[in-house]
Amino acid sequence: MSGKKKFTIGIDYGTESCRAVLVDVQNGDLAASSVYQYTHGVITQKLPDTDIELGPDWALQHPKDYINALKRTIPKLMKESQIDSDQVIGIGVDFIGSTVIPTTSDGTPLALIDEFKDEPDAWPKIWKHHAAQEKASQLTQLAVDRFETFLDRYGGKINAEWFFPKVWEILDNSSNVYNAADRIIEASDWIVWQLTGVESRNICAAGYKALWSKNEGFPLETFFGALNPGLANVVDDKMKREITPLGEQVGELTEEAAKWMKLKPGIPVAAGILDGHAAVPAATVVEPGSMAMILGTSFAHIILSNKEFRVPGMSGMVEDGIVPGHIGYEAGQAGGGDHFAWFLENAVPSVYEKEAHKRKISIFDYLEVKAAELEPAESGLIALDWWNGNRSILVDSDLTGLMLGYSLSTKPEEIYRALLEATAFGTRKIFETFIASGVPINEIIITGGKPTNNKLLLNILANVTRMEIKLAKCLYPSALGSAMYAAVAAGEARGGYATIQEASKNMAHLKKETFPPNNNDKKTYNRLYTEYTLLHDYFGYGHNNAMKRLKNLRMNILRKKQ
């Protein structure tokens, strides 16, 4: 057996589906891949099998989909690759986050228990669940008032997508559910618990989503108690103070989980990790100065540094949060590929669909062709890329999208291009903030999903940021990253690696093709970026709070209509 190749499995739980990969540990080659579309998708309207309607901005998932994903994908991997279960030396899992699951003491999600299945707060709330915005704002305000030091690590604002706003929302909406929950746990840890029988809390989710740091631990009981007395002991009652480093083995695959996956029990399972962060070493980013930009429905920007800086509006800085030994800085754009998907679904006239059909290309490709024919500034349009709020640097999910410059001759491809450009301007805003705060960016490496195939977007990114854009060479970056952490959890003795740096050096690669900026476009985009900044600051810093007031009116109507 020792002569046989070694493999690890990486499992990547996303927003709509779960992707599993089987990867050659020696060189990162993909041996097999399988995807499972969640039966219940993202639940935003009604609780499954009920007439119970969810409020606006709610977004849940079904825990059964998580286990079914294992049952459906892993056996396929093994069958497709024809390798032996013994050759699998480790399993790693990443998950969208913060995904908050209240469970019993044995890890059973309350959503699966009859008594609680009609309670919306018993269900896993995913990142997209923005209903806890009020809680996040109050939490931030209290932290400001109390001079809480953790605030500085999160750019001064706590995001509604994170762990504690959602936990507090559970207590506030349904003390019933809160009290019945023996544990409240991130999905990235919950799934590892399901695989190993061991409850752990990974440093990545704890650091980026649950306000934990190596030096200070979690916020104090007095802080939580000031939010709501019932919340004072949330950490000791519902969580764990022990935090597991990345690449560490949490436990071994249990008999039951092995059966789901048609694997042998005993395979080492690595600590969980957040999905975006798993993609970082898979993009070869394991040393300071290189920025991994993960393009998916939303965009994440992650850079490592040895020094501690305070970056306004960043999503978080976590020591050892991605690569042990380095501080991982994260920023993000709440709307990325989502914008383009929205546009495709809601704003493309049928003549365009027909033309794309005629040319035998996808409508996305057709729009790209049409939009690429335009020069920067030719459309006269400029947009604020806040269809899903602003994560960095404003950290405000109540901001909304804006498009300025419409004329009667405005064409769909012009609007589409303005959306691409706006996301690039949002990226530049983040880059400039990092650099101004002392974190240098020497290199940009793009990885992620669909938007990485959009050459026009990559060109625009290069010209707007005025930097050469490089691309990670892998189909499923987060899943590959998880497989890499699995190789570290397996360790050198089993045929894996001692560190994630070693794993990255061997298993991660870049594409040859790069996207350099060109001088003409750079100049025009400098002018457009000035316009973007004016609008960004005017609407983002409260000179005109129209977006918030309109959203508030809208939410009141939607709540009344329920």
CA distance 32 to 24: 10
Q: Could you give the maximum distance between any two Cα atoms of the chain, in Å?
A: 70
Nearer to its own copies, 19 or 536 (CB): 536
CB of 370 to its own copies, least distance (A): 12
CA dist list (Å): 300 to 112, 292, 481: 32, 8, 15
Nearer to its own copies, 154 or 299 (CB): 299
Residue 144 as a binder of its own copies (CB under 8 A): the answer is no
Q: Kindly determine how many residues on this chain lie close enough to bind its own copies according to the rule CB under 8 A.
A: 53
Residue 554 as a binder of its own copies (CB under 8 A): the answer is yes
Q: How do strand 327-333 and strand 316-319 relate by DSSP bridges? A: antiparallel
CA dist list (Å): 467 to 215, 299, 447, 459, 491: 35, 17, 16, 10, 37
Nearer to its own copies, 93 or 395 (CB): 395
Nearer to its own copies, 45 or 82 (CB): 45
Q: Position of tokens 């499954």? A: 48
Using CB under 8 A, pick the residue from 125, 183, 277, 551 that binds its own copies: 551
DSSP 217: B
CA distance 419 to 457: 10
- Taking residues 478 to 517 in sequence order and writing x for each that binds its own copies by CB under 8 A, - otherwise, the string is ----------------------------------------
CA distance 23 to 8: 5
CB of 461 to its own copies, least distance (A): 20
Q: Are 366 and 359 spatial neighbours (Cβ–Cβ below 8 Å)? A: yes
**Secondary element (H or E) of residue 38:** none
- Taking residues 413 to 442 in sequence order and writing x for each that binds its own copies by CB under 8 A, - otherwise, the string is --x---------------------------
Nearer to its own copies, 378 or 468 (CB): 378
CB of 540 to its own copies, least distance (A): 13
CB of 302 to its own copies, least distance (A): 23
Q: How do strand 469-471 and strand 443-448 relate by DSSP bridges? A: parallel
| Residue among 210, 542, 197, 264 at smallest CA distance from 396 | 542
Residue 549 as a binder of its own copies (CB under 8 A): the answer is yes
Residue 535 as a binder of its own copies (CB under 8 A): the answer is yes
Q: Are 14 and 476 spatial neighbours (Cβ–Cβ below 8 Å)? A: no
Q: What is the CB neighbour count within 10 angstroms for residue 374?
A: 17
Alpha-carbon Rg for the chain in angstroms: 23
Using CB under 8 A, pick the residue from 115, 233, 306, 538 that binds its own copies: 538
CA distance 429 to 496: 39
Nearer to its own copies, 142 or 377 (CB): 377
Q: Position of tokens 């008032």? A: 145
Residues 361-400 binding its own copies (CB under 8 A) are 375, 377-382, 386-388, 400
Using CB under 8 A, pick the residue from 112, 220, 402, 510 that binds its own copies: 402
Q: Which amino acid is at 483?
A: A
Q: Are 489 and 248 spatial neighbours (Cβ–Cβ below 8 Å)? A: yes
Interface region with its own copies, contact rule CB under 8 A, candidates 27-35, 287-295, 364-372, 546-554: 546-554
| Residue among 416, 295, 294 at smallest CA distance from 364 | 416
Interface region with its own copies, contact rule CB under 8 A, candidates 108-116, 138-146, 282-290, 526-534: 526-534
Interface region with its own copies, contact rule CB under 8 A, candidates 207-215, 230-238, 501-509, 544-552: 544-552
**Secondary element (H or E) of residue 258:** helix 255-261
CB of 425 to its own copies, least distance (A): 13
CA distance 457 to 496: 37
Nearer to its own copies, 193 or 352 (CB): 352
| Residue among 72, 138, 73, 62 at smallest CA distance from 99 | 62
Using CB under 8 A, pick the residue from 1, 145, 307, 408 that binds its own copies: 408
Using CB under 8 A, pick the residue from 26, 513, 553, 559 that binds its own copies: 553
Nearer to its own copies, 50 or 556 (CB): 556
Following CA atoms 364, 366, 367, 370 in sequence, which dihedral angle do they give, to the nearest 10 degrees?
160
Q: Are 164 and 172 spatial neighbours (Cβ–Cβ below 8 Å)? A: no
Interface region with its own copies, contact rule CB under 8 A, candidates 45-53, 114-122, 486-494, 520-528: 520-528
**Secondary element (H or E) of residue 455:** helix 455-465
| Residue among 1, 13, 196 at smallest CA distance from 97 | 13
CB of 356 to its own copies, least distance (A): 11
CB of 31 to its own copies, least distance (A): 36
CB of 538 to its own copies, least distance (A): 7
Residue 318 as a binder of its own copies (CB under 8 A): the answer is no
Using CB under 8 A, pick the residue from 108, 289, 342, 514 that binds its own copies: 342
CB of 158 to its own copies, least distance (A): 21
Nearer to its own copies, 17 or 44 (CB): 44
Interface region with its own copies, contact rule CB under 8 A, candidates 160-168, 228-236, 324-332, 408-416: 408-416
Query: 269-281: string of b/e by CB count within 10 Å (b at 16+)?
Result: bbbbbbbbbbbbb
Q: Are 459 and 374 spatial neighbours (Cβ–Cβ below 8 Å)? A: no
CB of 464 to its own copies, least distance (A): 15
CA distance 107 to 472: 36
Give the pair of three-digit tokens for residue 461: 């990114």
Using CB under 8 A, pick the residue from 255, 362, 534, 559 that binds its own copies: 534
Residue 524 as a binder of its own copies (CB under 8 A): the answer is yes
Using CB under 8 A, pick the residue from 52, 144, 404, 436 that binds its own copies: 404
Query: Contact residues for its own copies (CB under 8 A)?
Result: 335, 338-339, 342, 345-350, 353, 375, 377-382, 386-388, 400-408, 410-412, 415, 524, 527-528, 531, 534-535, 538-539, 544, 546-547, 549-551, 553-554, 557-558, 561
